Structure 1
Amino acid sequence: MKITIFKFTAMCVLMGVSQLFAQEKFTIQPELQNFRQPGYDGLNVFEEPKNDTVPFDGLKVRVGGDFALQLQGINHTSDSALANLGTNFNLPTANLNLDVQLADGVRMHLRTYLSSRHHNEAWIKGGHIQIDKLDFISDGFLSGFMDIATLKIGLDEINYGDAHFRRSDNARAIYNPFVGNYIMDAFTTEAFGELTLQPGPFLAVAGISNGNLNQSVNIGTKENKLSFYGKLGYDDQINNDLRLRLTGSFLASTGYDNGQYLYSGDRSGARYYWVMVKEGAADNFRSGRFNPGFAKFNAFQINPFVKWKGLEFFGIYEMAMGDQADPDVTPMMEGGSFTQLGGELLYRFGSWDQFYAGGRFNSVSGNYTENSPDISINRFNVGLGWFFTKNVMVKLEYVNQMYSDEGWTGSEAHFNGGSFDGAVFEAVIGF
């Protein structure tokens, strides 16, 4: 009961305070160094830039939040009996965000999910320390290197691929032009350390994580191993009208007992509620998504981004290859591979590009092992959006997702002949 009262109060505070901050310029919130602004001003921002001129004049605490509410009208069908869906509102989701400037070039981020699809209680998503200067060691220490370098250490989302910068993170849906995330949703929160270099228009990322979503010193018979990831890229504003970005990322999960969470690490829940859930079954909070389920694997993702005036294109080419289990223990479980393709085309218009319209295509195909039959998923989205202010927006989309090929067996047999389609309206606040 106390948790429910706390959640309700916190959500009301977020909604009320957002009206103070939902202006075209922040007048109350403190300015932080190397910080991605929530709302419209944070659109199409990927890694935090290194061209910040915000001076440090003491410790600053920025309290922010996110709120999202969907009205969903989706139908689904398959060769099996599915849950009976109607048109209604989903449970509102909310985040509480704390960003603290601790020292010159040192900042902390902490996000708490106040309400989510999967957890009806408040819980911490993760947090990290971001270091852009080493002046706390001595004034100007390695300043030439730190002019292009950023260090991140914590337990939070890792920087694999570019799609995670545009995805909905529970209630933080203001950067996502559509309601849903990609089918293979590359997102995980793990204990990590990460170095980012941004010399001019070039980009390099090197990171290491412990491969665990839930942390425990009691490992039992598991042999935990590290995961490694990185990114290389180019990002340049060619002129006032044209921006080009191209990145390639990889992740190597080196053990069979941990590191398998890249496509199942989001514990807040998918955005299309109850779709393709069997009749009489409990809700699957990952409904509409797909996880290859590899125990040990390698993945890479290539992301082009082009913005010309009001026209934007963002793309995904991704492959994940690995084993479902250790073949020395469980034979015939190796050699699986899945490919994801995605592309979204948007046009932003209005006096300050506050409106947009666009579409997205997303597909996943492949097999669980080298001897298993293929499976395929295809999704189409078309949508519209409107930023009332830089911190308040609404979006409306139509989604159609289809399941095909012969590999849907066992616990996934209800995907045979399966599809869902319909409209979703979402209102979002982020400040």
Structure 2
Amino acid sequence: MKTFNALIRYMLAGMLILTTSASWSQQTKIQNLRPYDHTGLNMFETPKNDSIPWDGFKFRLGVSTSFQFQNLSHENTMNTDSTTGWPLVDANKDNVDDRKLILITNGFNLAQANLNLDFQVYDGVHVNLVTYLSSRHHQEAWVKGGYVQFDKLTFLNSNGINNLMKYFTIKFGDYEVNYGDQHYRRSDGGNAMYNPFVENLVMDQFTTEIGGELQFKYNNFIIVGAMTGGEIKGDITWNQKMDAVDSTTQDPGLPGYSDAVPINKRAPSIIGKIAYDKQFNDDLRFRLSGSVYTTNSSASNTLFGGDRTGSRYFGVLENTTYSTTGTAFSGRFNPGFSDQVTSFMINPFVKFKGLELFGTAEFANGRQVTEIDKRNASQYAIDVIYRFPANEHFWIAGRYNTVTAQPLLKDPNGVTWKDDNGDIPNVTVNRWAVSAGWYLLDQVMLKAEYVNQEYKDFPNYDIRKDGKFNGFMLEACLGF
């Protein structure tokens, strides 16, 4: 009871602060900008039909912040039998089994905040810069990225180009890659206003890369093509790791490579998307998109591990060496495709009045530079949300999310985990969650979630063997 009363006091105090901060919401209007508040819900690529007039240079400062109260518990199976399990797994030689879970209790997680800077530098030209001021993975200020977006090129004084730009959008910079539609709904550091749940998907497909993107929008169709450097940051050094495939040489007609030659060259990432998005009437909207992301070679690709902020579920299924920053992605699964990766995603979205359905079907394969064979990973998720009343400031929601993948795991003796046929086995991670929430204002949100996640078919020496966590989460958010 004492803990509950303290929780209520903290939450009320936090909501008072957030409500006071919402006075910032009367902001300068920027063209072709997705709002950081409730009005940005269910917006994907920014629309071309922007009604904001150009009347000179504009600057907009915004903030997104969130904090959570966590009440989760976790468990696993630690088989120390010398015949059927492993007596001791102790990679760091501290005489504590690496499979032993850290003790967790209820409490507040680290508050997260983003600084959002937007500039209208010319008619149809928008510059964006987002900085993570505080996050689980980077508790110091850390620039997420920035880009310039052209929806008009009137400064070229060409009627032909002006007519073309009625259908095209050009973006380049160091920005969030536009692979799939799920990234438009996820929590991103302090920005959690678009996500009806507390956490993102189990296999979180998000990264920022340096490159450019071209969007074509016509008659409810959207076509996106992009090319990036394939990594989360720029680098001109030649990676010295030998590529297991190239150094083996698959074509017998080609000479083998000397071990002294560094051959893990970088290749660009190619991203494509085709979508159909139509508002049939005031009640019904339908969108269907298909996306692809592929790179042939990379020193460190992070499509499934590019989040610089970390997960919302602190400490779950982590061992006694846990730290907030060092093990920042608790509850997620990264297949580890750091060299080659190709991934496809299909996202249907249907909204009928207050009822929303959003789905994800994803199929990926890839490998690390030391691997010869590619591994597979697949993910399915379905969100069902009902928003009410007419202004849709309240909601209830449910999500089911499952991942099946071939992980690259090694036992304590350094032997890669394989089955009797020499293949890497599949593991499965299942999650279901239910949530309810309230937008007190367009800029202020409170949500509650119950989550249950289970890990299946992991080997005895892995901490996730028969792993499970569940419990309640509360989150308060501000965005403007």
Match 1:210 to one of 204, 229, 242 = 229
Q: Distance in 1 between matches of 2:310 and 2:215?
A: 29
| Residue 373 (structure 2) aligns with | 334
For residue 345 of structure 2, what is the amino acid of its counterpart? Q
Note the C-alpha offset of 1:351.
Answer: 4.2
| Residue 8 (structure 2) aligns with | none
Matches within 5 A, 1:57-206: 57-80=55-78, 81-140=100-159, 142-206=161-225
Match 2:317 to one of 276, 283, 286 = 276
Q: Deviations over 1:137-186 (max 9, x none)?
A: 22545122110110000001110000000000101000000000001111
Match 1:252 to one of 284, 294, 308 = 294
Note the C-alpha offset of 1:282.
Answer: 3.6
Report the 3-state secondary structure (helix = DSSP H, G, I; strand = E; otherwise coil) of the residue aligned with 1:205: strand
Report the 3-state secondary structure (helix = DSSP H, G, I; strand = E; otherwise coil) of the residue aligned with 2:68: strand
For residue 79 of structure 1, what is the amino acid of its counterpart? T
- Runs of 4+ more than 6 Å apart: none
Identity %: 42
Is residue 380 of structure 1 aligned with residue 432 of structure 2? Answer: yes
Is residue 350 of structure 1 aligned with residue 402 of structure 2? Answer: no
For residue 477 of structure 2, what is the amino acid of its counterpart? V
> RMSD over aligned Cα, in angstroms?
1.7
For residue 367 of structure 2, what is the amino acid of its counterpart? D
Note the C-alpha offset of 1:386.
Answer: 0.2
Match 1:371 to one of 423, 436, 445 = 423
Q: Distance in 2 between matches of 1:16 and 1:387?
A: 11
5+ long unaligned stretches in structure 2: 1-13, 79-99, 241-263, 409-421
Is residue 375–residue 408 contact of structure 1 (8 Å, CA) maintained in 2?
no
Q: Which stretch shows the higher mean deviation, 235-244 or 360-369?
A: 360-369
Is residue 433–residue 449 contact of structure 2 (8 Å, CA) maintained in 1?
yes
Is residue 392 of structure 1 aligned with residue 439 of structure 2? Answer: no
For residue 362 of structure 2, what is the amino acid of its counterpart? E
Q: Distance in 1 between matches of 2:233 and 2:137?
A: 15
Note the C-alpha offset of 1:382.
Answer: 0.2
TM-score (norm 2): 0.82
For residue 431 of structure 2, what is the amino acid of its counterpart? R
Is residue 41 of structure 1 aligned with residue 74 of structure 2? Answer: no
Is residue 67–residue 92 contact of structure 1 (8 Å, CA) maintained in 2?
yes
Q: More strand by proportion, 1 or 2?
A: 1
Q: Which stretch shows the higher mean deviation, 238-247 or 213-222?
A: 213-222
Return the index of the structure with the highest Cα Rg. 2
Q: Distance in 2 between matches of 1:123 and 1:280?
A: 25
Q: Deviations over 1:384-412 (max 9, x none)?
A: 0000000001000000000002x4465xx
Q: Distance in 2 between matches of 1:414 and 1:306?
A: 39
For residue 427 of structure 1, what is the amino acid of its counterpart? A
Is residue 206–residue 231 contact of structure 1 (8 Å, CA) maintained in 2?
yes
**Aligned pairs, how many?**
405
Q: Distance in 1 between matches of 2:298 and 2:321?
A: 33
Report the 3-state secondary structure (helix = DSSP H, G, I; strand = E; otherwise coil) of the residue aligned with 2:463: helix
Q: Distance in 1 between matches of 2:437 and 2:188?
A: 18
For residue 57 of structure 2, what is the amino acid of its counterpart? L
Q: Distance in 1 between matches of 2:169 and 2:390?
A: 35
Is residue 132–residue 146 contact of structure 1 (8 Å, CA) maintained in 2?
yes
For residue 440 of structure 2, what is the amino acid of its counterpart? F
Q: Deviations over 1:266-316 (max 9, x none)?
A: 011111111110123444101111111112121000000000000000000
| Residue 291 (structure 1) aligns with | 334
| Residue 249 (structure 2) aligns with | none
Q: Deviations over 1:359-418 (max 9, x none)?
A: 00000002147811110000000000000000001000000000002x4465xx010010
| Residue 265 (structure 1) aligns with | 306
Q: Distance in 2 between matches of 1:205 and 1:409?
A: 44
Distance 1:16 1:136, change over 3 A: farther
Is residue 423 of structure 1 aligned with residue 421 of structure 2? Answer: no
Q: Distance in 2 between matches of 1:256 and 1:353?
A: 44
| Residue 94 (structure 2) aligns with | none
TM-score (norm 1): 0.91
Q: Which stretch shows the higher mean deviation, 96-105 or 31-40?
A: 31-40
Q: Distance in 1 between matches of 2:28 and 2:158?
A: 24
Report the 3-state secondary structure (helix = DSSP H, G, I; strand = E; otherwise coil) of the residue aligned with 1:289: coil
Is residue 325–residue 334 contact of structure 1 (8 Å, CA) maintained in 2?
no
For residue 287 of structure 1, what is the amino acid of its counterpart? S
Is residue 391–residue 429 contact of structure 1 (8 Å, CA) maintained in 2?
yes
Distance 1:281 1:69, change over 3 A: closer
Is residue 135–residue 141 contact of structure 1 (8 Å, CA) maintained in 2?
no
| Residue 48 (structure 2) aligns with | 50
Is residue 100–residue 107 contact of structure 1 (8 Å, CA) maintained in 2?
yes
Match 1:359 to one of 374, 395, 398 = 398
Q: Distance in 1 between matches of 2:355 and 2:318?
A: 37
Q: Distance in 2 between matches of 1:71 and 1:282?
A: 18
For residue 426 of structure 1, what is the amino acid of its counterpart? E
